[in-house]
A and B are shown apart, each in its own frame.
Chain A
Amino acid sequence: MKIQPSIPNMLPGEKVVLLLHRHGFIAFRFALVYIFFAILPLIGWWYLNSNTTIFEDPTNFGYALVALLLSAYALVWILLFFITWLNYYLDVWIVTNERIINIAQQRLFYRVVSEQKLYRVQDVTWEMKGIVANMFRYGNVQVQTAGEDDRFIFENISQPEKVAQAIMNLLQSIEKQVGLDKIAEIEGEFGAKSAEEPKKNNTA
């Protein structure tokens, strides 16, 4: 759970309460796959070195081909690793004192940003599923908003129970601050729009 001082398109008086990424174990899982693919060319190099004479003469065709292929492999590996890390790191859920923002970095050129006003949150559910999730204490938090079929789902975040509690605390403080009548009034004003989809922005 990290707290950052600012977010893009911040509203006046808005304060970031939670800035959440997926749990580090999820990053570790994909890092393992990349480590495996980093070891593969080393095995190939060892095999060629022990069974052929390619590396003894750098002027032959085999050496040129292997050097080019290994260079290309290393470049692609490092780029894909960085892009996968970017997709992981830029998947963010932000809870401010006014709204919930869901930023999904699907691919390098595909980014979806959804947001919902906090006072429209109706219930919050959290779950920790599986042995590994319970060991490392990560899980999902589902936020149900008024009149929406879709839920905001914070996937594989660390300590989901504390996040759910923090959102409920924020809701209580909003209810105390604004008053339930005011919230009902606001919802009444936007009643016609209550069934609409959460605001979504697609940015590449």
Chain B
Amino acid sequence: MMISLWLLLIPFGLLVIVWLFLSIAAVLKMLRFGFLSRTAVISTFAFLVFSIAVFATSIISLSQVDWSASYTFGTPSINLPNVNGLKDRIPQIPKP
């Protein structure tokens, strides 16, 4: 089975979309109900900074991958030419 590597980016992209939605909701909730205290602002700021750091690290490591490559999984089927009838002389394993 051939698989294109960029297909792996689809679930990751979906995860990032869900992540963005929940992050925005969480940040808004913290700023709305956290009484705008110093702790609320600092923790929200720390979350944003660490998130950006994680994104930057991910992009750096993922950018080294050749996403246009394809990979084969399982046993590949090989179609060899029947040169000099050699293919007919391969001993066949009797089927049970």
Contact = CB atoms under 8 A, between A and B. Distances in A.
Interface in B61-81: 61-62, 64-67, 69, 71
Interface residues of A, number: 33
A63 interface: yes
Interface majority SS (helix, strand, loop, mixed), chain A: helix
Contacts of A61: 5, 69, 71
Query: Which A-B residue pairs are the 7 nearest by beta carbons?
Result: A71-B58, A58-B64, A64-B65, A82-B47, A67-B61, A74-B54, A61-B71
Interface of B: 5, 8-9, 12, 15-16, 19, 22-23, 25-26, 29-30, 33-35, 37, 39-40, 43, 47, 50-51, 54-55, 57-58, 61-62, 64-67, 69, 71
A10 to B, nearest CB: 11
Contacts of B15: 72, 75-76
Contacts of A166: none
Contact of A7 (B35, B40, B58): B35
Contacts, number: 90
Contact of B25 (A4, A19, A59, A109): A109
A82 B26 contact: yes
A31 interface: no
Output the residue of A82, A85, A108 with the most chain B CB within 10 A.
A82
B1 to A, nearest CB: 13
Q: Is the interface of B mostly helix, strand, loop or mixed?
A: helix
Interface string A67-107: 11011101110110011011001100000000000010100
A59 B64 CA distance: 7
A79 B40 contact: no
A111 B29 CA distance: 10
Contact of A89 (B40, B58, B61, B67): B40
B43 A89 contact: yes
A65 interface: yes
A75 B54 contact: yes
Given A58-B64, A75-B58, 17 more contacts: A7-B35, A58-B65, A59-B69, A64-B62, A67-B61, A68-B62, A70-B58, A71-B62, A72-B15, A79-B22, A79-B26, A85-B43, A89-B30, A89-B34, A89-B40, A90-B33, A108-B22
Given A61-B5, A71-B54, A72-B15, A83 B61 contact: no
20 contacts: A2-B37, A4-B35, A6-B35, A58-B61, A64-B65, A65-B8, A67-B65, A71-B54, A71-B62, A72-B12, A74-B58, A75-B51, A78-B50, A79-B23, A82-B26, A82-B47, A89-B39, A89-B43, A108-B25, A111-B33
Nearest to B16: A75
A68 B8 contact: yes
Nearest to B37: A4
